[in-house]
Amino acid sequence: MRPYVIIYVTSSVDGKIASVSGYSKFSCEYDLRRLHSLRASVDAVLVGANTVLNDDPLLTVRYVPGKNPLRVVVDGHLKIPENAKVVTDKSSRTLIFTSNHAPADKINILLNKGVEVVVLDTQNHELPTHKILLNLSLRGVRTLLIEGGGETIWSFVKYGLFDELRMTLSPYIVGGRKATPIVGGEGFSTYSEFIKLVLKDVRICECGNEVHLIYLKR
């Protein structure tokens, strides 16, 4: 059985999670606490390589009491830098999924830094999402939080491999056709392909300007 998968995003009201320049800090202090509480409740948190490159996140629990989850990075090209916080910070374990096309010397460098690297056999650099979930399940991961970015979220959404979408809408209009949307990828073409969601909860944030929504996948 695969882990229970929760997608969490904070976006502008026009559905962008990063601007054309890569700016993505849309959360108020209450939203950050909500996110960190969720991190503390799951077994692992997952992001793509671009999120590490653009934001250099710690992916730890800091704004509330709680345990740090396993940090998981999906990086088929193994392009994250050796000095990324998920590599150098030792407050939590980091697991990187990459492809058999990744440079062996970079794998060895990361291994020597205490990062676990799992190499998946692929025809290209695109990593099979179901294999990632199977590997995590075998490691005892029962709940998985996905924090981005748009392409990584799409890799789960296109196969329906998620259970919840939690999103906070911040009071900004970002615009830009090259800004990062909540879900990237090639997208669905027809109504029959669309992923249908059911609204479970909606509430105004304590700051008074953001709205938090929880959707369940049908």
Nearest partner of 16 among 215, 188, 179, judged by Cα: 179
Span 102-139, pLDDT tens digits: 999 999 999 999 999 999 998 877 899 999 999 999 99
Could you state, in order of their start, the residue ranges of all structural domains in the chain? 4-217
Residue in the structure block whose two tokens are 């990086």: 75
Span 170-187, pLDDT tens digits: 999 999 999 999 999 999
- Domain 4-217: which topology? Dihydrofolate Reductase, subunit A (3.40.430)
Nearest partner of 168 among 68, 58, 78, 38, judged by Cα: 38
pTM, to two decimals: 0.96
Tell me which residues of the chain have a pLDDT lower than 50.
none
Nearest partner of 12 among 23, 1, 2, judged by Cα: 23
